[in-house]
Amino acid sequence: MLGRLNHVAIAVPDLAAAVAVYRNTLGARVTEPQALPDHGVTVVFIELGNTKIELLEPLGADSTIAGFLVKNPAGGMHHVCYEVDDILATRDQLKAAGTRILGDGEPKIGAHGKPVLFLHPKDFQGTLVELEQV
């Protein structure tokens, strides 16, 4: 079912400051910011040889990331994203096993232009899991 680790997402209170740390301190290659209104975030990706780090900043006060930052003002790890071949088949298999799919259960288009779903953290040892169809 699971493919490779696509990215680890880190919520940040100030995207520009976080980008500067990764770019200037660590010498990382960082993508341009991308607003994702359907997800309530602005994102950048730090491109690594074997995966990516996604930095998330709230896009508006209603963003779930804004709520996360209230609890974690300095930011922190938000979710991990795994690749799957068929997101609908994976969703159906997970639902049949009792896994909770967040939202309405229908995939949305994510930052890479591919369908994504989020799985309830209580079903995965306290970790929010994103699935992305490859």
The enclosing H or E element of 87 equals helix 87-96
Q: Do 10 and 4 contact (CB within 8 A), yes or no?
A: no
DSSP class of residue 101 equals B
Catalytic residue among 54, 57, 130, 132: 130
Catalytic, 132? Answer: no
- Round to whole Å and give the CA distance between 90 and 86: 6
Closest CA relative to residue 81, chosen from 116, 108, 113, 105: 116
Are the beta carbons of 55 and 17 closer than 8 angstroms? Answer: no
Residues constituting the chain: 134
Site of tokens 């949305």: 108
Bridge partners of 118, per DSSP, are 130
Q: Which residues are catalytic?
A: 130
